[in-house]
Structure 1
């Protein structure tokens, strides 16, 4: 039996470098702020952004691919400096594949850890949501709130400076 290579999904690079989109159009398409897009371009995270005759940034399908990648990496928590390093490595060519792969593998591991933590936090929120729904539906006081357990004559003790 011959093993087939796994498909990489619907991601494919566009080589169309025809400037088509303004920053505002890109911001609307990608649900990002124009400020963020300009910042990414200013710090060198989006290679080959063209300029119009009036010096406005103009994005092509090619540069949108870079922007999507940069935005994805940032949303995983990768710091700007590391995103810049990754983009620089990409531009150096295939000799940097091992280093780029290591960066991606490391970031995936970090993101998996974040997901694990977020799942635990989501369980707490689900519990609290159910708890509050019950309180609201049955019009009960919050028995988990520490304020509801302190005797009225207990002094409020604060540490001295």
Structure 2
């Protein structure tokens, strides 16, 4: 059994995050000791690992809760869980495209600054001088 502190170190999550996830009902069957402190077994660690990975992929806590609840219902919910993952994948791909556009803009801006530094063009980047 792991304490909040131990599991937070093990999974590289803050103690606050571990408590938050358990308070939101994302970790089924969290146990408590006689002082009402949370205790995590290997199964709880697996749930937290899955939650961490889904959160890192940009999934909201609410969507993760839905996903966890579906997992607890069993194999009959595989299609629904697939739809949640597919929706998150599509959101991640859209964010990737947005990030590519931002990077392209910043590359163009950096090249413009190089032209200014190399005195190819005059500095027109300072809004205070427009």
Q: TM-score range by the shorter chain?
A: 0.7 to 0.9
CA positional deviation for 1:81: 1.9
Cα distance change on mapping 1:87 and 1:129 into 2, 3 Å? same
The match for 2:12 among 23, 31, 44 is: 31
Task: Provide the residue aligned with 1:116 in structure 2.
Answer: 97
CA positional deviation for 1:106: 1.1
The match for 2:43 among 62, 68, 84 is: 62
- Greater Cα shift, 99-108 or 51-60: 51-60
Larger Rg: 1
Say which SS state the counterpart of residue 63 (structure 2) adopts. Answer: helix
Q: Deviations over 1:43-93 (max 9, x none)?
A: 110112222232221222221111121122223332222211110100000
CA positional deviation for 1:104: 0.7
CA positional deviation for 1:127: 4.2
Q: Output the aligned Cα RMSD.
A: 2.5
CA positional deviation for 1:126: 3.9
Task: Provide the residue aligned with 2:79 in structure 1.
Answer: 98
Structure 2 unaligned spans of 5+: none
Q: Distance in 1 between matches of 2:42 and 2:115?
A: 51
Task: Provide the residue aligned with 1:48 in structure 2.
Answer: 29
Structure number having the greater helix percentage: 2
TM superposition score normalised by structure 1: 0.67
TM superposition score normalised by structure 2: 0.81
The match for 1:82 among 47, 63, 72 is: 63
Task: Provide the residue aligned with 1:154 in structure 2.
Answer: none
Aligned pair count? 129
